[in-house]
Structure 1
Amino acid sequence: MPALNLANCWKEIYLFIISLSAGCLFNYKLLRIFRDYAPKFVCLNYHLDIYRKFFSVKRNLLFNNNTTTEEFDTRFSSYLAGLIEGDGTIIVPKRERSPKGDLYYPSIQILFDSRDFPLALILQSKLNHGSISKRKGSNAYVLTINKLEGILLIANVINGYMRTPKICALHRLIDWLNSRFGRKLLNIEKKNKDISNIDSNSWLAGFIDGDGHFSVRTTLGSRACAPKIECKFELTQRQNDHNNENNLEYLSLIAEFLSSTVKEIRMNKPKPEYRVRTTNVNSNFILVKYLEKYPLYSSKYLNYKDWIKVLSYFEAKNHTKPESIKAIVEIKSQMNNERTEFNWDHLNNFYNLYK
């Protein structure tokens, strides 16, 4: 995709199919964005004639004894699991019907910063499911999967790749699906947490795209004080999630992988947090080695690439030289919330659902 200047531009960034039949959209459009005025609602649906015949057509979404005709790409599966655990929600109804008698259905939602709208689109297209809507009152989009075919697909894709307490929500969803359609038809196994090494798959990359942060700090100081330059990566999570499940276990594994520690912060607040932060150049390069193998796909990829440029000055041990500081300050001025141009070429290499 071409570079996208969110400050002032019209850009065709994606081609998608929508339809308008019994509430479903049916048309062929080019999506354009002008500044922040992106579409309020996007619905992607390929091969509607197939999806209307759920359990009647042998397609990739149908599971017989918990197997598929095609094998999922483990990179896609682990990345999606990490992304959902970083900034997603699995909603499973506790009751079958509402007081008015309406049936309750589960839902899977993934939150994206407004800058990451192209990632939401590409993920939607790979899954062939979901709708994207602008979240009211915030600079964010939500990819929501409500259709049972899509929920069944995602449950099988991420099953076995979860590492956080959100696995409990996935297991509740699997119980709901097995109960809804009968174990003779589905019988989805509730797989345990992934206990493989953090660097064995792309889970951490997905989790970072959801909740990670790359930062450069420059304290120029006075004549009496030497300038201070810091290049760090950090993850911050609530100590206990909304189900009162503690997040220390998996954060400790991430910290161990990065040769770092988990620190308690905001202890005087109602919702204290844990923080994992790289503490030195060696710790940073452990992360670099991993992300070169399992890349990021959100706009954080661009921040990561700038972060690496700054890290190279540390590696050469010349980051305190005046000319280096000037270059670092310039790089920092275009990172994170200061970024105005976005190049999405890296999405061309996004994983496919199947091998």
Structure 2
Amino acid sequence: MILIEVPAGTDISSLIPAISHTGKSIHPDSGVAQDFSEPVIYSVTAADGSVQQYIVEVKPAISDSDKAITDFYLPGLKTRGLIVENAKEIYVVLPNKSDIKSVRSIVKYIGKSISPGSTEILDFTHPVQYTVTALDGSHSIYSVIVKESDLPVLYINTPNSVPVSSKEVWIEGASYKLIDESGSIFSGRVSIKGRGNTTIEMPKTPFTIKLPKNDDKPFLGMPSHRNWVLLANYSDKSLLRTDVALKLGEILDNLKWTPRSRHIVLFLNENYQGAYQLVEQVKIAPNRVNIAPSISSAHPTGGYLVEVDERKGELFNFVTKRGVKISCKDPDENLEDVFENIKSNIQIVEDVCKTRR
């Protein structure tokens, strides 16, 4: 962790850092503006390909008039509140049937004092007001509103609360806990990374999650599998477009499989992320795209999934002789001989189609 304090009042939403390092490269690059309202991860890659990550946190110095709640946490429920600073409101979302009549909170704040005090046990069945007093005597009042969700709630915690910012690098060794509407709990280990093209740059990040081998489980009535997608649906304020499209595909299409999904509430590292859509990822499997098992070095005639993708957003991408940009979705491992076989097969199909016109 790298901690940097800047003068009070500094706008940290667009700072341009100058970074010196001893590796081959760094990402994000030095000299590129970053929003340091949240910690930023820098990855330094050495000449041998090894990677070292650094978490950079920037905080403005405190002035006499500063008065704000910066963090609200319920340790017994392992849940952190969402602070809406403009409205001076803090929202805490919990699974259905949570006991909130006698709850201890831990409150971090900027200022001289806060009332009620941090660690006090309070009844949150109704909104609770906290008053933060600055060094100059001025004060701000925050309302804490606790709500119970009618949706399933998924908690994912990464090792050392490492942020999930890359769609290329899996964060291994994370844990998950899924609580359904009835209160039943499912838990285990999981890997997680970001996903999407333009959507990964949006304020609400979509994710891909992967369960360990031989530990695939059914989720919320959907058949067992290792691979799942968490859609943020940030650009869809109704949160229904994808749901309606998938349902129409299920009803109207003659396809043997259409991805199933369920709406959930997501917490990442005990921070509320909002409503997400848990969706079956498109994969070759008996419960999904039921074709020949995935192609591999040992099974060169196996099945594979490709898509036309202008962004070339997968590990293996290629362009056909006629300029069609193809990305390989499955398999997603680095298998050069397998990918060359796929490329050759796709080119044969294109050549045949061109010849028969």
- When the two structures are superposed, what TM-score results if normalisation uses the length of structure 1? 0.30
Higher RCO structure (Cα 8 Å, ≥6 apart): 1
Q: If each structure's helix is expressed as a fraction of its own residues, which one has the higher value?
A: 1
